[in-house]
Amino acid sequence: MGTWQTALVGVVMLCGLLATALPHVPSTLAVWAGVFWWSSADGTTRAWWVLVAATALLLISQVVRWLLPSGSGQVAEVRTRQLLFASGTGTVGFFLLPVVGAVPGFVAGLYGWERLRLGGHGSAWASTRDILRTTGRYTLVELCACLLVVGLWLAVLLLG
């Protein structure tokens, strides 16, 4: 597989990561398609095992999202930019503190956004909890699954 094709696969996966913040956009499908493209072009056994692992992780994330209880109450305004920012901070957290850093990074991004918007700690924390109860936890589950798949792909690509 050439450098340009690998870079394009990375762009597809990056688009999938960004799409986790957008409602009703199949971000897991975009990440899976990137892995499928790479594994079918690479053709090695390790590439196919990465595809199997990615498929399993993304299916498990869909089951977890389905099993999560629906949010109680409605959030006044959850902006796409807000979830996109939190997804970005979760991604940075994932790579700074491998795997476990995604959750604190995501929550910190939401809290920081709300703190700037609302001004006070109490109201920002209450709003962050409300967002996590309604839409944030679904976004977080999808983001973590996609980050695990992209991290696995990068690890195999760089170490293999």
pLDDT per position as a tens digit, 90-139: 889 988 988 788 899 999 999 999 999 898 999 999 988 888 888 778 88
CB neighbours of residue 70 within 10 Å: 7
Q: Can you give the C-alpha Rg of the chain in angstroms?
A: 17
Burial zone of 115 (CB within 10 Å; 0-12 exposed, 13-18 middle, 19+ buried): middle
Please give the structure tokens belonging to residue 39.
């594994």
pTM equals 0.84
pLDDT of 22 reads: 80
CB neighbours of residue 111 within 10 Å: 20
